[in-house]
Amino acid sequence: DGERTSLLIDAGPLDPDAGAIILDLFQQLGLSHLDHLMLTHFDADHLGGFVTTYESTSIVWTSDCTPTTYFPTQAIIDLGDADKETESVDEYQACRNANVNRLEQGHFVIGQTDNTNVGLQIDLGENYAATIVAGGGFIVGNETQIGDVDTENERSLAVLISGPNGFNFLVMGDLPGVSEVEGDANLELALGQALQAQSVDVSILRTGHHGSAESSSAEFLGLVNPEISIISVGDNSYGHPTCTALQNLFLYSDPVYQTGLGSPTATCPEQEQVTISNGTIWIRVEGGEFQIGL
């Protein structure tokens, strides 16, 4: 509130009910309204708190699309029309479209057909800004789409939150890097090269795709040089975070944090070095200086 502008990036899974958890967090913070909403892509584990599917709690509207107190006042930023059809995606798009006239700045579609709005900057107040640095397979500063983009993760938005004294917080969504599948797009590498060209050193990295085998490549990390890394991960059957991702992260980051225990099938020596929270990691930033709290 006040001179600062609020921005919510993604809203967690349907189960557990991320919407209810985020609403409780808003109340703890004394946040009375939301200015900007950003959805990095349409996977259910990022969309959950925005919809009422399966009796989940939506932060922004009721089941009949009536806006709540936290429907954003300024803008919604996302990938436009989804390439996937699920009940959750259908609700999100229908309710967004029904309420778009309430937005003062409007609905910003990122990378739907070209690099439009990649590079969009949101003024967060007090010399902080959030910049869309990837979306729809496009990377900031590049006019052409990276080749072989054909999945939700490859279309994911990534956002760089910058502030005084060289503070940079890079949120990767589910943007992937190297894959064992030949022909998959390496968005991480292209983004790392673009940020290095802008002399961006990352203070805090929110890793891509929950520490999967396709994210956090050593080549990418060497380009962005994160001081601290955070893995957003809960109980899962995918093996997230993988030993490969953790090994790469510890080459550059100390410490590495996780929001939860992750997959019980992912076991490697690096796990003993990870600082694990109970689901919430606080980042307090003032004048470009930051503190991490669990």
pLDDT in tens, the chain (294 residues): 447 899 999 999 999 999 999 999 999 999 999 999 999 999 999 999 999 999 999 999 999 999 999 999 999 999 999 988 999 999 999 999 999 999 999 999 999 989 999 999 999 999 999 999 999 999 999 999 998 888 899 999 999 999 999 999 999 999 998 665 555 678 999 999 999 999 999 999 999 999 998 899 999 999 999 999 999 999 899 999 999 999 999 999 989 999 998 987 767 888 889 999 988 999 999 988 999 999
Give which of 183, 256, 249, 242 is closest to 220, Cα–Cα. Answer: 249
* Secondary structure of residue 47 in the 3-state scheme: helix
Q: Phi and psi at residue 46, in whole multiples of 5°?
A: -115, -20
In the chain, alpha helices (H): 18-29, 44-47, 87-99, 152-155, 187-197, 218-224, 243-252
